[in-house]
Amino acid sequence: MNGILIDGLSFALPLFIMAIGGIYCEKSGVTMLAVEGLQGFGAFVGAFAAVLAAGGFSGSSQVPFYIAILCAAVGGGLFALLHALLCLRFQANQVISGVVVNIMAMALTAYLTKLLNRLLFGATSDKFVLTVSYRFTVPGLSRIPLLGAVFTNVYPFEVIIVAVAFVAWFVMYKTRFGMHLRACGDNPHAVDAAGRQVNRIRLAAIVICGALSGLGGICFAYSISANFSASIYVGYGYLAIAALIFGNWRILPTLGACLLFGFARSGGYKLVQVLQMPSSYQDLVMILPYVLTLLLLVFFSKQNGSPRALGEIYDKGAR
- Domain segments of the chain as ranges: 2-134+149-260
- In tens, the pLDDT along 248-270 reads 999 999 999 899 888 888 887 77
Strands (E), 103-209: 128-129
Q: Which residues on adjacent β-strands are paired with residue 128?
A: 228
pLDDT tier at 1 (50, 70, 90 boundaries)?
low
Average pLDDT of span 35-62: 89
> Comparing C-alpha atoms, which of 89, 25, 83, 20 is closest to residue 313?
89
Q: Which residues on adjacent β-strands are paired with residue 154?
A: 136
Asked whether 142 and 5 are in contact (CB, 8 A), the reply is no
Helix (H, G, I), strand (E, B) or coil at 61: coil
Mean pLDDT of the chain: 88
pLDDT score for 102: 96
How many H-runs (helices) and E-runs (strands) does the chain carry?
A: 12, 2
> Comparing C-alpha atoms, which of 33, 52, 288, 255 is closest to residue 158?
255
Please list, in sequence order, all residues whose beta carbon lies within 8 angstroms of the beta carbon of residue 104, skipping any fewer than 6 positions away: 37, 82
pTM assigned to the model: 0.93
Residue 152's identity, in one-letter code, is T
pLDDT tier at 36 (50, 70, 90 boundaries)?
very high
Whether residue 124 is predicted with pLDDT greater than 70 in this model: the reply is yes
Q: Which residues on adjacent β-strands are paired with residue 129?
A: 227
- In tens, the pLDDT along 137-196 reads 888 877 887 778 788 888 999 999 999 999 999 999 999 999 999 999 999 999 999 889
Return d(Cα 106, Cα 86) in angstroms, integer. Answer: 18
Kindly report the CATH number that applies to the domain delimited by 2-134+149-260.
1.10.3470
pLDDT tier at 279 (50, 70, 90 boundaries)?
low
Average pLDDT of span 297-304: 68
